[in-house]
Copies of this chain bind each other. A is one copy, B any other.
Amino acid sequence: MASVTFKGVFPILVTPFDDHGNLDLESFDRTVRFMADVGVDGVTIIGVLGESNRMLDAEREQLIKTAVGAGGRIPVIVGTSYSGTRATLELSRVAESLGAAGVMVTPSRESVPNEDRIFEFFQQVAAGISIPIVVQDHPASTQVHMSVPLILRLIREIPLVACIKEEAVPTPPRITALLNGIGDRAVTILTGLGALYGAFDLARGAHGFMTGFAFPEVLLALVRSAQNKDFDTVHEIYHRYLPLIVYEQQPGVALRKEIFRLRGLIASSYVRHPGTNIDPTTAGHLKSLLQKMLPGVDITRPVEV
């Protein structure tokens, strides 16, 4: 198992299906290898973007095995969130036993929201595994609003918590509040949300990205400049690609899958029901936008930024 620092760029991968909705592990393998070639710091699989909530347990195992097998040099983080604590723990154990370098976990909405229950949830999961935990804070998908003091408590009291994937808007002041409170725990903050607030979040001190933007090359360039404290370049790169970032982060997995398809990584952009598949007009607009943003570039190969 690869060790992992949770600094840099961790693309969240889509789960590829064929046109009948069956897992397409070949495409998945190809995608992971491509990411390794691009030079990312790890990949995250079976997240929201990976349609995790539409996946059977057996499929989860196949995806983990494929990613770990293909990842080789790079760590594989596995989304294991589930509506019950024990199931989350068991899925995390499976991930660990199959070679995952970490798990990404987000609490699910209980009928009676309760900060103590959320703490216990993470505590119980941590008690059963020995790989690091990425706490995902994404109320838009979970309907769970974690307060900054709660997240700091998770950091303080649960040693396996190694990273916060911060996606509660507005993210910039939240990142500042977290960094001010972390103290000397070696916990990192990664931003998500398709990199929508990338430059602003890096300026606040975020350590990188864990998100599904389909051009991780851009994110790598952003992080490199941020690590060099060259925030003018961060802004310049961010500004350059911002129309694509904005377009791509629109809700729905289909747009992202279509770009992965255009990049030659997956065979079909099929989304499982009740998700929406891409319509021809939108696919056409996306293609035009890509040509405008990356004129003459062969996007099936790593892009130079």
Given contacts A117-B274, A147-B115, A173-B281, contact A87 B55 (CB under 8 A): yes
- How many chain A residues touch the partner (CB < 8 A)? 61
Could you say which residues of chain B place their CB within 8 Å of the CB of A115? 147
Q: How far is the CA of A199 from the CA of B203 in the complex (A)?
A: 27
The answer to whether A292 has its CB under 8 Å from any CB of chain B is yes
Give the secondary structure class of A's interface.
helix
List chain B residues, Cβ under 8 A from A57.
Answer: 56-58
Stretch at the interface among A5-13, A78-86, A219-227: A78-86
Q: A114 contacts which chain B residues (CB < 8 A)?
A: 145, 147, 274
A204 → chain B closest CB, angstroms: 8
Which A residues between 138 and 180 are near B, CB-CB below 8 angstroms? 139, 141, 145, 147, 168-170, 172-173, 176
Docked CA distance A121–B54 (Å): 13
Among A37-45, A183-191, A206-214, A241-249, which stretch is in contact with chain B? A241-249
Interface residues of A (CB under 8 A from B): 21, 51, 53-58, 82-87, 90-91, 110-117, 120-121, 124, 139, 141, 145, 147, 168-170, 172-173, 176, 196-197, 199-200, 203, 235, 238-239, 242-243, 246-247, 250-252, 255, 272-274, 279, 281-282, 285, 292
